[in-house]
Structure 1
Amino acid sequence: MIIAVDVYYEEKKAKSVGVIFHNWEDSKPLEVITCDTENPHEYEPGFFYKRELPCIQELLKLTDINQIHTLVVDGYVYLNNERKPGLGHYVYTNFSGNIPVIGVAKNAFHDNEAVVQKIYRGHSSKPLYITSVGMELAVAAGHIQRMHGEYRFPHLLKLLDKETKEARP
């Protein structure tokens, strides 16, 4: 199974969401899981992972991690051409390098062109920025390219974004 994860922050709480699916071309998730984290770590410039990683760790406790073969994060695996670790790399090392991680970012980041593959989906002239660890970059980019949906942002990742920002009852 594949899981795409994202975290949304409110004043003193974080909402983590995971969209689980079997195949890259799937149009519907198998399951959507959510988890709330009280008082997440404060944002520190350059150390975003310190805020996001604990939330993702809690979320993934709700899955059978042994069934997950790929994890997709909203963001970068590497932040620059020297391979400075980003959130995706910290998620990867958290699982001892056993689960490949693909980073999907909507916005460009400076000085990381050597570790990023741009993909264009639908009729958009604006790319998605793909990074990966534990999997060849071209393979990772191909997976995201093949995801269901006719627009720039794949359907299941758009669903993830919507679910993450949706208010809890």
Structure 2
Amino acid sequence: MIIAVDVYYEENQAKSVGVMFQSWEDSKPLEVIMSYTENPHEYEPGFFYKRELPCIQELLKLTDINQIHTIVVDGYVYLNNEKKPGLGHYVYTDFSEKIPVIGVAKTAFHDNDAFVQKIYRGNSSKPLYITSIGMELAVAAGHIQRMYGEYRFPHLLKLLDKHTKEARL
């Protein structure tokens, strides 16, 4: 199973969402899971993972982690050409370097092209920036390229974004 994860912050709370699916070409998720974290870590420039990782850890407790073969994060695995670790790297090391992680970012980072592959989807002239760990970069980029949807951002990742930003019920 594959899980794409994202976190959204409001005042003193973080909402984490995971969209679980079986195949890269799936048009519908198998399941959407959510968790809430009160008083998440404050944002520190250059240390985004300190805020996001604990929220993702809580979310993944709702899964059978042994059934997950890939985690997709909104962001980067590496932040620069010297392999400064990004959120995806910390997620990978948190799970004993056993579950490959793919980072999907919408914007480019300065001095970050050595470990990034740009992909173009649909008719968009703007790329997605793919990074990976535990999996060859070209394979990771191919997976995201094949995801269902005709637009720049794959359908299930757009669904993830929508669920993440919805108000708590």
Q: Do the structures match in fold with TM over 0.5?
A: yes
* 1:102 counterpart residue number: 102
Alignment-mate amino acid for residue 112 of structure 1: N
| Paired amino acid for 2:124 | S
Aligned residue in 1 for 2:7: 7
CA distance in 2, matches of 1:124, 1:101: 25
Structure 2 length-normalised TM:
1.00
5+ residue gaps in structure 1? none
Partner of residue 27, structure 1: 27
Structure 2 residue aligned with 1:91: 91
Give the Å deviation of 1:37: 0.2
Counterpart of 1:46? 46
**1:89-138 alpha-carbon deviations (Å, 9 max, x no partner):** 00000001000000000000011100100000000000000000000000
Given the alignment of the two structures, is residue 58 of structure 1 paired with residue 58 of structure 2, yes or no?
yes
Match in the other structure for 1:69: 69
Alpha-carbon deviations, 1:30-86, whole Å to 9, x = none? 000000000000000000000000000000000000000000000000000110000
Equivalent positions of 1:111-122 (< 5 A) are 111-122=111-122
3-state secondary structure, aligned to 2:8 = strand
Distance of 1:119 and 1:168 partners within structure 2 = 33
> Hey, what's the Cα distance between the residues in 1 that align with 2:139 and 2:68?
17
Stretches of structure 2 that go unaligned for 5 or more consecutive residues are none
Could you tell me how far 1:168 is from its partner in structure 2?
1.1
CA RMSD of aligned residues (A): 0.2
Is 1:153 aligned to 2:153, yes or no? Answer: yes
User: 1: distance between equivalents of 2:51 and 2:72?
Assistant: 17
What is residue 168 of structure 2 aligned with on the other side? Answer: 168
**Hey, what's the Cα distance between the residues in 2 that align with 1:83 and 1:113?**
10
Structure 1 segment 133-144 matched on structure 2, within 5 A = 133-144=133-144
Shift of 1:12: 0.1
Q: Given residue 91 of structure 1, which amino acid in structure 2 is its aligned partner?
A: V
- Runs of 4+ in structure 1 off by over 6 angstroms are none
3-state secondary structure, aligned to 2:63 = coil
